[in-house]
Chains A and B, each alone.
Chain A
Amino acid sequence: SQQGEEDPQALSIQEGENATMNCSYKTSINNLQWYRQNSGRGLVHLILIRSNEREKHSGRLRVTLDTSKKSSSLLITASRAADTASYFCATVPTGNAGNMLTFGGGTRLMVKP
Chain B
Amino acid sequence: GAGVSQSPRYKVAKRGQDVALRCDPISGHVSLFWYQQALGQGPEFLTYFQNEAQLDKSGLPSDRFFAERPEGSVSTLKIQRTQQEDSAVYLCASSPRAYEQYFGPGTRLTVT
Contact = CB atoms under 8 A, between A and B. Distances in A.
Interface of A: 1-2, 30-31, 33, 35, 40-45, 48, 88, 90, 92, 97-106
A92 B95 CA distance: 14
Given A2-B41, A42-B106, A43-B43, A100 B99 contact: no
B105 A45 contact: no
Interface of B is mostly: strand
B99 A92 contact: yes
Contacts of A42: 4, 91, 103-106
Contact of B44 (A2, A97, A106): A2
A99 B102 CA distance: 13
Nearest to A89: B42
10 contacts: A40-B105, A41-B106, A43-B93, A88-B43, A97-B55, A98-B50, A100-B33, A100-B56, A103-B43, A106-B42
B101 interface: yes
B98 A99 contact: yes
Interface in B48-71: 48, 50, 55-56, 59
